[in-house]
Amino acid sequence: MRRLLSLAFAAILLSLSLQAQRATGVSAAATARITVSGFVTDAGSGERMIDATVYERASFTGTTTNNYGFYSLPLNPGKAEIIASYLGYDADTAEVWLTRDTVINFSLTMSSSEIAAVTVTASGRRAKIESTQMSMIDIPVDKFIKLPVIFGEADVLKVIQLLPGVQSGTEGSTGIYVRGGGPDQNLFLLDGVPVYNANHLFGFMSVFNPDAVKSVQLYKGGFPARFGERLSSVVDIRMKEGNEKEFSGNVAVGLISSKFSLEGPIIKDRTSFVISGRRTYYDILARPFIMRYNQGQEDKTTGGYYFYDLNAKVNHKFSEKSRLYLSSYFGRDRAYTRNTYRPNYEGDDDIRMEYKDSYGLGWGNMITALRWNYLITNKLFSNTTLTYSKYDFDVTIESSVEELNSKARAVDYFKYFSGIEDVGARTDFDYYLSPKHSVKFGTGYTFHYFKPGVTTFRFDSGIMGDTGLDTVIGDMKVRANEFIMYAEDNIELAPKLKMNAGVRLSLFNVQDTSYFVFQPRISLRYLAGEDLSFKLSYSKMAQFVHLLTTSAISLPTDLWLPVTRRYEPPVSHQVAAGTGFLIPGNLEVTLEAFYKTMDNLIEYKEGAFFG
């Protein structure tokens, strides 16, 4: 039955696409179209601009740039006035006489007047009204960095919690619950690489440093086929690329952390870099209070907590058609306490003992992406990415007793370690057939390596004799392979009706068991007026990894685990309907309703064992 439904859905999409091409396409024999393509960049930094609008004034035929600033716009031969615009920037215009395929690159300058900024804003909002995409919110980076939320620190996820359809978890934490989903049903992407733990400070801050962020997009429904692996939402975060023109940087000292950012050209207009980092200093601030507490005490105690993270990115332009990016993120949290106690045995010089107790908790992410953009033709853009993602945490407890005269020592040691490691490769293509028809497709592979939990016990008594214990429990490693293929077709079916239809095929292999999931997606937009549209979407999502959690607070000890041979992967179905319109004052209003079901959800009992 499922195969019949899948084939029927594919047949419907193919039929609609063919009908649309017959209705909107112009035969090659009748009119030879000319393709204008290029990149839109920031004139000040040289960074490529995502979702910039490019259109021809007379015909009002237009498109938007992709995630790498590229656009392709087929036009009729003859005179053309092509305009590029972006929110908060002055529009740039190129007047050309088109006789053959032409490359035009635009460099936009930040608006110097409020009037220009308002004009561009209205244009950007109208583009959203006309788009098939629904349930997606662009979060302006320059806005959220001005919204201090906790201890004067701006935070991406804190801003997301303020958006409609999103709820926060425990007060003050960064966990998000989107349209009835759980905290593990949100896919966080940093430059296209999954981030398994998005929290610092036990969930009160996120790992995304605002100084390193270029763009943030939240998808709550109507998911394009290029996204998958989670049931409820996708948070797509892109890092800055670095200023190709000049060096710039900043240093900031806050109440709980300090940070820096530096960017500039390595080779002007060809190679650039950006690096940013931050560190908290709760441990340093707490030292005077701990030292005062230790005065007059026989036992001496110290402790603290801190986190740090580092973002770095380098990109090199081989030519106008070829560019290479290398981006990395590394961050870690550490909490610790140490106690030393030397009893004072008056009158007995033969006994001098020292007791030491220490506790440590650490967790962190390591992420790397090597990405190559290549413009195959002026209509076909490719992006090939190699990715690496690692998340791990460890808990360490150690107690020791030492006889200071004989140096005999007894040690009790406990360590718990868990983590997940991914290595992947992916290729994506953007194909621009016409201003009314574009296609995205691609494929990818990810190797997952899970370490659900390794516990080490060690007991060594040099005081009581040679007895000892050294054992490891739960050293189980799970390997999984994931293959995906997707295609999505964005096409104008009629002058007022536009469709984005696609399908995602996922194959997940674990424990000698394979799961194949067919995930159809479709979004429709009907333009009822210049400033009014109605939208409808359906999406099916599958999730192959999930979070084993034991509390409402997002703790670093929560475990990421794959589906097993016993249970099928969780699947969600979501239907959404809504409308968007502009009102006086250049304000955009969107209203949406959704219906969502989730099947095969797994809930663990306290103390349950993974197997």
Residue 527 resides in a domain: yes
Model confidence at 125, pLDDT cuts 50, 70, 90, reads low
Residues 571 and 591 in one domain: yes
Residue 524 resides in a domain: yes
Is pLDDT larger for residue 536 or for residue 605? Answer: 536
Closest CA to 518 of 536, 542, 500: 542
Residue 31 has pLDDT above 80, yes or no: no
Given 130, 163, 185, the domain boundary residue is 130
Residues 386 and 466 in one domain: yes
Looking at residue 594, what is its pLDDT?
95
Task: Identify residue 148 by its one-letter amino acid code.
Answer: P
Residues 49 and 169 in one domain: no
How many domains, in total, are found in the chain?
Answer: 2
Residues 159 and 94 in one domain: no
> CATH no. for residue 75?
2.60.40.1120
Per residue in 484-540, pLDDT tens?
Answer: 999 999 999 998 999 999 999 999 999 889 999 999 999 999 999 888 999 999 999
Q: Which residues touch 344 (CB under 8 Å, ≥6 apart)?
A: 298
> What's the CA angle centered on 459, arms 394 and 332, to 5 degrees?
15
Residues 153 and 174 in one domain: yes
| CA distance readout (Å), 8 to 22, 191, 206, 360, 576 | 21, 35, 43, 56, 21
Residues 328 and 350 in one domain: yes
Residues 378 and 512 in one domain: yes
Mean pLDDT of the chain: 83
Looking at residue 191, what is its pLDDT?
92
Backbone φ and ψ of 569, nearest 5°: -65, 145
Is pLDDT larger for residue 121 or for residue 533? Answer: 533
Task: Identify residue 477 by its one-letter amino acid code.
Answer: K
What span, in angstroms and rounded, lies between the C-alpha atoms of 362 and 58? 60
Looking at residue 45, what is its pLDDT?
85
Residue 10 resides in a domain: no
Looking at residue 411, what is its pLDDT?
83
| CA distance readout (Å), 242 to 66, 70, 212, 269, 324 | 18, 18, 9, 11, 13
> CATH no. for residue 240?
2.40.170
Looking at residue 286, what is its pLDDT?
83
Residues 86 and 47 in one domain: yes
Closest CA to 331 of 314, 312, 313: 312
Given 130, 160, 194, the domain boundary residue is 130
Given 106, 130, 154, the domain boundary residue is 130
Looking at residue 239, what is its pLDDT?
92
Average pLDDT of span 459-482: 71
Per residue in 186-214, pLDDT tens?
Answer: 999 999 999 998 888 777 788 898 888 98
> What's the CA angle centered on 367, arms 328 and 373, to 5 degrees?
60
CB–CB of 221/135 below 8 Å? yes
Residues 160 and 291 in one domain: yes
Looking at residue 589, what is its pLDDT?
87
Residue 371 has pLDDT above 70, yes or no: yes
Per residue in 239-260, pLDDT tens?
Answer: 998 898 899 999 988 888 889 9
- Pick the most confident of 75-89, 133-147, 332-346, 528-542: 528-542
Model confidence at 461, pLDDT cuts 50, 70, 90, reads low
- Pick the most confident of 7-11, 389-393, 573-577: 573-577
Instruction: Please give the residue range of the domain that contains residue 107.
Output: 34-130
3-class SS letters over 178-189: ECCCCHHHEEEE
Residues 104 and 224 in one domain: no
Residues 86 and 192 in one domain: no
Average pLDDT of span 262-286: 91
Residue 11 has pLDDT above 50, yes or no: no
